[in-house]
Amino acid sequence: MNTKIGQSFGLALLMAIAVIGTMFALGMFSIKPASAVMPATGISVVVTPANARDIGQYTILVTGASNTIDVGGTITVTFGSKFTVPSSIAASDVKLKTNVISGNSGTANQLVSSGGITISGRAVTITVPDMDTASTTNGDNGISSGDGASFTVTFLQAAGIQNPNQSQDANGTGTGGLTVKTSADTTAVAAYTMTAITKKVTYSPTSGARGTVVTVSGRGFAKDCSDCKIRFNPQNTVTPTTGNE
């Protein structure tokens, strides 16, 4: 209907659109991009000792996380099927530290015990504690993210995680590797590098006169080790140059 009321309303609408357009042009409004929950980009693992079937200490460095993990959040480390994970692990046997504290102004790089442990199969879920337990005034401080930020999870030997039965090269993947996922992530990320798991041979006794019975034990060898050999060297200073083992 072409009335004065209709004309006035239309004019007001055009003016409002023009004002909003000017505000966008001047930068008074900004379009907020959709937020994406991104996983960490780098995970490396150091295992000590690294002999097959040993109980290892696992030091897991996570870099490139783009989402802060608040106190009470979780970090889930899932070991591949070649590892043996106990049904329970004490919270004090899993340590965390971060080089950037979130929240209040806490002190970074403090080694603190996990806030709690939950285990499901080979998946170990760690509750993030206050990362600055020494301070009574800074409040709770979680694990920060962004450029240069990283955090480390360390499973002590007392946690009881056993290395694979068979040796494997570095950069273990799949069943011989592990993944990390946090409560701030949508995707579990696999370790891109891991200490090689090595074979081990022991002799008891290590030396003796002719006729001495020596017990030789080995671990980490493939079950089809058709060319495995045991060689005795009568000269301690010269290592045999033939044979695979």
| Domain residue ranges of the chain, discontinuous segments joined by + | 1-30, 42-194, 200-245
- Closest of 188, 108, 107 to residue 151, by C-alpha: 108
What is the average pLDDT across 13-18? 47
Percent of the chain with pLDDT over 70: 64
Whether the CB-CB separation of 154 and 44 falls below 8 Å is answered with no
Q: What is the mean pLDDT of residues 88-104?
A: 89
Q: What pLDDT, on the 0 to 100 scale, is given for residue 115?
A: 95
Domain 42-194 part of CATH 2.60.40: yes
Quote the percentage of the chain above a pLDDT of 90.
36
- Who wins on pLDDT, 40 or 209? 209
Residue 238 DSSP label: -
Tokens (6 digits) for 234: 């009568």
Neighbours of 150 (CB within 10 A): 18
pLDDT at residue 23, as a whole number? 47
CA distance 215 to 205: 7
Question: Does pTM top 0.85 for this prediction?
Answer: no
Residue given tokens 């493939």 in the structure block: 222
CB-CB neighbours of 114 under 10 Å: 24
Q: Alpha-carbon distance 199 to 121, whole Å? A: 26
The residue type at 156: L
